[in-house]
Amino acid sequence: MRALGLSDHLIVDLYEVTMLEAYLAHEMNELASFELFVRRLPETRRFILAAGLDQALAFLESFRLTPEELADLSRVHPLGASAARRLSDLRFAGDVDAVPEGTVLFAGEPILRVTARLPEAQLVETRLLNIIHFQTLVASKAARAVLAAGGRPLVDFGLRRAHGGEAGVFAARAAYIAGFSGTSNVRAGADFGIPTFGTMAHSFIQAHDDEAAAFASFASVHGARVALLIDTYDTEAGARKVVTLAQSLAKRGLALRAVRIDSGDLGEHARRVRRILDEGGLRDVQIVASSGLDEHAIAALVAGGAPIDRFAPGTKIVTSADAPYLDCAYKLVEYAGRPRLKRAEGKQTWPGRKQVWRTRSAAGLLQCDYLAPAAEVVKGAAPLLEPVMRAGRRLSPSRPLEQIRSAALAEVSTLPEGLRSLAPGPRFSVRVSERLASK
Amino acid sequence: MRALGLSDHLIVDLYEVTMLEAYLAHEMNELASFELFVRRLPETRRFILAAGLDQALAFLESFRLTPEELADLSRVHPLGASAARRLSDLRFAGDVDAVPEGTVLFAGEPILRVTARLPEAQLVETRLLNIIHFQTLVASKAARAVLAAGGRPLVDFGLRRAHGGEAGVFAARAAYIAGFSGTSNVRAGADFGIPTFGTMAHSFIQAHDDEAAAFASFASVHGARVALLIDTYDTEAGARKVVTLAQSLAKRGLALRAVRIDSGDLGEHARRVRRILDEGGLRDVQIVASSGLDEHAIAALVAGGAPIDRFAPGTKIVTSADAPYLDCAYKLVEYAGRPRLKRAEGKQTWPGRKQVWRTRSAAGLLQCDYLAPAAEVVKGAAPLLEPVMRAGRRLSPSRPLEQIRSAALAEVSTLPEGLRSLAPGPRFSVRVSERLASK
C-alpha cells in the first residue's frame, strides 16, 4: 500500500467513476451545485462544530489523477480510451462556498457548497465527505469535553485507537480547533503546529527494577519537563516516591512539573495524591488524569472537585465513541440552472442553493438561524457561508489554526446555555424561509 | 499535510520519544518483549478476528526516520545531538510472533508479540496499536454482519464516513478478510485486489429531468454491469420504469443485473419490488439493499424473508458503530530476561512471554484455549502465535488476501454456535495455565 494523502485521488467510491463515464458519454457537463450537510444530529449532540475545510480545499486544489492512479483505476474498472483521456485531463475548476472552520451548525445547514461542472462536482464527493465528516465529528465531540472541563486544559492522547493514521492526525487537529490545548501526536504537532505533550508509559516504569529508580532516571534526562506516571503498582506509594525524588532534585535546582494517574477512581486517587504532594511541599506539581475519559467523566470529576489540573482524554474523543458517525450527505441541489429535489424516505432535501442566516442578541448570544435560498437576503442577520474557492483556486491562504480555535471557543461561548449542556434536550430550531418551504 | 503511509514514522505519541531518550541516556538496550492484546471485549462482541498484521509488518520492516522526519520531530521536541544521531540510525531489527490474520481470538490473548531492543520495541508501540487495533475492530464487526447475512454477499460502502482515508482503505481490507465480497473503495481495490462494486447515486437520477431517462442513459453506457438506484422519488414506480427499460434493452440483447434500494423499510420495498420485477419477467434482476445496515438489521431482513440478494452496509461496519474501539494494549511482559508485571487497577497483566494453545473437537469445533508461558507445551493443543519476523525481516511474503479470507471464514465456522450468535452471552473462557497463574 502506497502512502496516502490529500493529493491522492483514488480515495473514491467506484460509483463516482461509473456516473462520470455516463455524464461524459452524454455530455452532461453543465454547472451543478452540491451541498454537504448533516441531516440529523445524534441524540447526544446539541450542535456540531464545522471542521476539515482546509484539508478539503487542499484536496480540491490538487485534484489530478496521475498516470499511475489512472493505471490503478483501469485495473479495477476498465475505462474506455475517451473516458481515460478525459479523466486524465480532469481538474477541479469549480467554486466552493463554506462556513469558516469552527462555526457552530445545526441539522440541515450546509457546511459547504460545491458549484462546478457536474463530472468534477460528482467525482470529489466521496473524499470531501470523508474529510469534512470526520473532523466535524471529532470537533463536535471534543467541544463537549472542553465545555465539561470548565477551563482546565485538555490534551488529546487518542492516536493509538484512532481509526488509522490519518484519523489520528485529523482528530488532533479537530480537537485542537474545539479548544483542546495540545496532543501527544508528533505528526499532528509537526504538520499543524499543535503543541505536543508527552509523559511516560507504564512500560518505562516496568523496565526498571524499581519505580523510584525509574522516576529518577527519567528526571535526570528530562528534568522538570514531563509528568511522572505514578499508578503502575500503587498510586499513593508512587506519589510518595515522587516527593522523595523532588527533595533530591530540589538540591540541584530542579522542580518537577506533574504526575499522571491513569487507572482506578481518578477523583479519589487525585485527592489522596494531592494531599501527599502538598504535605511533601509540592503544591506546584500538577496532577494529570487519563484513562477512559469523555465529557461525562470529566464533568463528574470537575463537579466532584477532583484536584485534577489537566485531562488527557483519548479514545472516546477521537472515535466520538457515543456517536461515531454523523448522518452527513452531499446532495445535488441544482443542475443546469434548475433546483433539484430528492424525496427518498427519510432523506428528503430542500432544493436549490441555500444560505444560512444567523441572528444574535444584543449581548451576542446566538438567537436564530434561517435556512433560505442563496439569493434571498435576511435582514438583520449575518450569512454563514462565504466564498472560499473560485475556479479551483482558494481565495485566501489557510487560516492559522490558532485563529480558528479562538473563533470556535468564542462561538461556543455564545450558545444559549441549554445548548452548552451535556444532557440531551430540545433541538435548536432552524427556521426555513417561506420561499424555500414553498419550492 | 504530507501524504502518510506505512513508511511514515512520526505517527507516534511523543512519550515514545521521551522514553527513548531516557533509555538511550541510560543505555537501557536489553531485549524487551511486548504483547499486543485486547483486555476486555465489548459486550456486543463474542470474539475478535485478528487483522492488520501485514500492514504492521510493512511498517516495522520500513522503520527508519528520514532526515525530514527528524527535522520535523526536532521542531516539535528539541533533541540532543546524541539522541538525534541514534534516532537517525534506529531500525527495527527485532522479532515478531503473531497469530495469522483471520484468527479468532478472545480477551487477553496476544495478537502479536514484539521482542527487540527496548528502544526499538518501545518506539513502534503507537503505530502498531493504531494499525492492528483498527483492522481487528472492523474485521470483528464485519464478521458479525457476515454471520447475519447467512451466505448472501456483502459489499462495503463505508468509505465516505470512515474516519479518514486510511480508515476507509483499511476497513475495506478488514471487512473483506471477515468475508465481505467486495468494496466500493477504488483505492482498496487497487491496493489489495479486493473486488470493487459501483452503482449510482441519487444525484445521477436528480441530474436528469426524468428518472426513466436517467436509467436509460446509464444503461446505454454500462449495459448490464450495474445496479439501478430506484428510490429517489418512489421506489415501486422506479421498479416499474426498470421493467419498461428492460423490455427495450432486451431487444438489443442486453439484460439488467440489479436494482438498489437505499431508503425506507428495505424488507417491505424489496418484497414489492421483487413482485414488480417478477411480473415484468425480470426474475434474474437482483435486489441490492443499502442504508444504515448493520448485523442486526441484516439479520432481521433475512429472518423476515426479504428478497434481498446482496447487502451493502457501510458506516456502521467501518466505524464499528456499536463499539467503535477495542480496549487493546501493548504491554511490556519481559525485559532483560525477567518477566514484568503491571498492577494498575483494572489493567493488570500476566507477566512473561505467552503462547495461546487451542484444542478442537474431533469435528474440528473450537473447544478450549489455554494461555500459557511461551516455554510451556500444552499437549493435544495447537499453538496460535507463530514466528513471522526475525531480526527485522519477514520470514515469508504477504499472505494472499483470498487465503486469509478463506481461513477466517473457516475459522468462524468452527466456533461453537453460542459464539456465532449476535446476542450477548457467556464469555468464552480462556484457561490460564497453572504455571502462569502462579507467577
For residues A259 and A366, membership in a common domain is answered with no
Chain A residues in contact with B224 (beta carbon < 8 A): none
Contact list, A328 vs chain B (CB under 8 Å): 160-161
Pair B187, B291 in one domain: yes
Within-domain flag for A180: yes
Q: For cell 515478531, what's the residue?
A: B96
| Angstrom distance (rounded) from CA A27 to CA A241 | 75
Strands B95-98 and B386-390: antiparallel
The helix/strand/coil state of A418 is helix
Give the separation between CA B183 and CA A8, rounded to whole angstroms. Answer: 18
What stretch of H or E contains A212? Answer: helix A211-222
- Binary contact (B165, A21; C-beta < 8 A): no
Of A283, A318, A353, the one marking the end of a domain is A318
CB contact under 8 A, A1 and B55: yes
- Cβ distance B165 to A166 less than 8 Å, yes or no, reads yes
Q: Is there a single domain that holds both residue B364 and residue B416?
A: yes
B170 CB neighbours in chain A (<8 A) are 163-164
Among candidate residues B318, B346, B362, the one where a domain is terminated? B318
For this complex, say whether ipTM is above 0.90: yes
Say how many domains are in chain B.
Answer: 2
Contact B190, A10 (CB under 8 A): yes
- Whether residue B5 lies inside any domain: the answer is no
CB distance A165–B161 less than 8 Å? no
Q: Residue B295: which of B175, B210, B415 has the closest Cα?
A: B175
In three-state form (DSSP H/G/I as H, E/B as E, the rest C), the secondary structure along chain B is: CCCECCCCCCCCEHHHHHHHHHHHHCCCCCEEEEEEEECCCCCCCCCEECCCHHHHHHHHHCCCCCHHHHHHHHHHCCCCHHHHHHHHHCCCCCEEEECCCCCEECCCCCCEEEEEEHHHHHHCHHHHHHHHHHHHHHHHHHHHHHHHHCCCCEEECCHHHCCCHHHHHHHHHHHHHCCCCEECEHHHHHHHCCCECCCCCHHHHHHCCCHHHHHHHHHHHHHHHCEEECCCCCHHHHHHHHHHHHHHHHHCCCCCCEEEECCCCHHHHHHHHHHHHHHCCCCCCEEEEECCCCHHHHHHHHHCCCCCCEEECCHHHHCCCCCCCCCEEEEEEEECCEECCECCCCCCECCCCEEEEEEECCCCCEEEEEEEECCCCCCCCEECCEEEEECCEECCCCCCHHHHHHHHHHHHHCCCHHHHCCCCCCCCCEEECHHHHCC
**Domain membership flag for residue B2:** no
Cell of A414: 455564545
Domain stops at, among B268, B296, B318? B318
Contact A55, A101 (CB under 8 A): no
A167's enclosing H/E stretch is: helix A165-177
Task: Report how many Cβ contacts below 8 Å link chain A to chain B.
Answer: 386
Q: Which domain holds residue A255?
A: 150-318
Write down the pLDDT at residue A1. Answer: 63
Quote the pLDDT of residue A199: 81
Tell me how close the Cα of A263 comes to any Cα of chain B, in angstroms. 6
Tell me if A6 is assigned to some domain: no
- Sort out which chain B residues have CB atoms less than 8 A from A319's CB and list them: 163, 319, 324-325
CB-CB under 8 Å, A125 with B32: no
B4 inside domain = no
Same domain as A219, residue A85: no
Nearest-by-CA chain B residue for A194: B76
- Residue located via cell numbers 462565504: A386
Q: Which of A126, A166, A345 sits opposite B159 (nearest CB)?
A: A126
Please tell me whether residues A218 and A80 are part of one structural domain: no
Answer whether residue A409 is part of any domain.
yes
CATH number at residue B179: 3.20.20.70
What is the reported pLDDT for B158? Answer: 98
A161 and A305 inside one domain: yes
- B3 located within any domain: no
A262 with A293, same domain? yes
Q: Residues of B with CB below 8 A from A196's CB?
A: 14, 76-77
For residues A249 and A314, membership in a common domain is answered with yes
Looking at the fold, whether A155 and A288 belong to one and the same domain comes out as yes
A207·B15 Cβ contact <8 A: no
Residue A318 Cα, gap to closest chain B Cα (Å): 9
Residue B258 in contact with residue B227, Cβ under 8 Å? yes
> Beta partners for A105?
A48
- Out of B5, B190, B231, the one facing A76 most closely (by C-beta) is B190
pLDDT tens by residue, chain B, 439 residues: 667 788 788 999 999 999 999 999 999 999 999 999 999 999 999 999 999 999 999 999 999 999 999 999 999 999 999 999 999 999 999 999 999 999 999 999 999 999 999 999 999 999 999 999 999 999 999 999 999 999 999 999 999 999 999 999 999 999 999 999 999 999 999 999 999 998 899 999 999 999 999 999 999 898 877 789 999 999 999 999 999 999 999 888 888 999 999 999 999 999 999 999 999 999 999 999 999 999 999 999 999 999 999 999 999 999 999 999 999 999 999 999 999 877 777 767 778 999 999 999 999 999 999 999 999 999 999 999 999 999 999 999 999 999 999 999 999 999 999 999 999 988 898 999 888 877 6
- Contact list in A for residue B288 (CB cut-off 8 A) is none
CB < 8 Å to B342, chain A:
202, 206, 232-233
Q: In this complex, do B5 and A4 lie within 8 Å of one another by their Cβ atoms?
A: yes
pTM above 0.95, yes or no: yes
pLDDT tens for chain A, 439 residues: list them. 667 788 788 999 999 999 999 999 999 999 999 999 999 999 999 999 999 999 999 999 999 999 999 999 999 999 999 999 999 999 999 999 999 999 999 999 999 999 999 999 999 999 999 999 999 999 999 999 999 999 999 999 999 999 999 999 999 999 999 999 999 999 999 999 999 998 899 999 999 999 999 999 999 898 877 789 999 999 999 999 999 999 999 888 888 999 999 999 999 999 999 999 999 999 999 999 999 999 999 999 999 999 999 999 999 999 999 999 999 999 999 999 999 877 777 767 778 999 999 999 999 999 999 999 999 999 999 999 999 999 999 999 999 999 999 999 999 999 999 999 999 988 898 999 888 877 6
- Verify that B252 and B159 share a domain, yes or no: yes
Look-up: residue for cell 470493487? Answer: B196
Three-state SS for A115? strand
Supply the pLDDT for residue B236: 97
Strand partners, A112: A36, A98
Contact: B186, A328; criterion CB under 8 Å: no
For residue A117, the cross-strand partners are A31
Residue A292 resides in a domain = yes
For B242-297, the pLDDT digits (tens) are 999 999 998 888 889 999 999 999 999 999 999 999 999 999 999 999 999 999 99
**Is A58 found in the same domain as A156?**
no
Residue B381 sits in a domain whose CATH number is 3.20.140.10
Distance of alpha carbon B213 from alpha carbon B208, whole angstroms: 7
Beta bridge partners of B383: B357
Partner-chain residue, chosen from A189, A263, A331, that has the shortest CB–CB distance to B344 = A263
In degrees rounded to 5, what are phi and psi of residue A413? -70, -15
DSSP A36: E
- CB-based burial, B72-110: b 16+ in 10 Å, e otherwise: bbeebbebeeebbebbeebebebbbbbbbbbbbbbbbbb
Cα(B332)–Cα(A209) distance, integer angstroms: 13
Q: How far is B114 from chain A (nearest CA, A)?
A: 13
Per-residue pLDDT at A439: 66
CA distance A344 to A354: 20
Do residue B11 and residue A234 have CB atoms under 8 angstroms apart? no
- Please tell me whether residues A268 and A206 are part of one structural domain: yes
